[in-house]
Amino acid sequence: MLLVSVFKYIAEHFDKRVNATMYLLGYQAMLYIGNVVVSSPAGLLYDRIGFEKTYMIMGGIALLFTLVSAFTLSACKRQNHRRPALDMAENGISK
- Taking CA atoms, 9 is separated from 31, 49, 75, in Å, by 16, 38, 10
What percentage of residues in the chain have a pLDDT greater than 90?
A: 27
Domain ranges of the chain: 1-48, 50-79
Q: Using 50, 70 and 90 to split pLDDT, how confident is the model at 15?
A: confident
Has residue 76 got a pLDDT over 70?
A: no
pLDDT reported for residue 85: 47
| Overall pTM surpassing 0.85 (yes/no) | no
- Whether residue 66 is predicted with pLDDT greater than 80 in this model: the reply is yes
pLDDT band for 7, please (50, 70, 90 cuts). Answer: confident
